[in-house]
Structure 1
Amino acid sequence: MEHKMDIPALQSFMVEAFPQVAGEIEVAELSEDGVTVRLKVQDRHLRPGGTVSGPTMFMLADVAVYLAILSRIGPVALAVTTNCSIDFMRKPAAGADLTCVAHMHKVGRVLAVGDAMIYSAGQAGPVARASLTYAIPPKG
């Protein structure tokens, strides 16, 4: 499988299209069926009690799957999330960075389906699992 966007292209696209999260998320690895991204956790990502908030973990999973799709189809800014189911399985370590591994199951002409596993630095098991579906706009 040939990638239409490599890591530098994905990072540049994020700066251009989504500057609100581009500085927070780093594409760490590109694989045949997905991507691995990292989030440097900051105070604004924390909820009361010092753990990473659910919306932050959702954002990380959503961006990871989005980037995995774009790596396969190219810079299609208007690909949008149509469904997401997320399970929060354990509390992330206080203030620890998060890593998200996204795998694509299907990238078709109209829909893309993938999963994301989120890990907290210093913990062995995943802290969250998400399944996402994206709509891909028609070409032209």
Structure 2
Amino acid sequence: MLGPLGVSAEQEQLYTALISRPGSTAEELARRTAVALPGTTALLEDMAAQGLVVDEGVNPLPGPDRETTLARTYRASSPSIALTPPAARQRTALDQAESAVLALTEQFRSIESRSADGVVEVVRDPVRRTPPLRPTPR
């Protein structure tokens, strides 16, 4: 769903998991998603560089047998802050592409109208505007 914004499917899995469970470690995220642990750490570092997640650093966490362990934790950045700018850039790029298509279409039609050979535009999946012909009784 976030692919058009430059977010891979694996990054989206991690981001979604972090939204529902902030302060997760790479190990916890690997267990909760389909992303392998070595890949999880690299993806989280990339996502932190992109502003999608915040690296909270190394924090004490409760370990087995009530021992405290140290582990790096992450939390998701706000979607409105992290994802709105790339969505706006994508929207602007699409608007520019649409303007280019309109300009090219106008140029194409201008040249077509001056051509003696007459170029024909092919319409696919036309909407039927007239009823089908019926055989006349004899």
> Which structure dedicates a bigger proportion of its chain to helix?
2
Band the TM-score falls in, shorter-chain normalisation? under 0.3
Larger RCO (CA within 8 A; separation ≥ 6): 1
> Which structure dedicates a bigger proportion of its chain to strand?
1
After TM superposition, the score normalised by the length of structure 1 is: 0.21
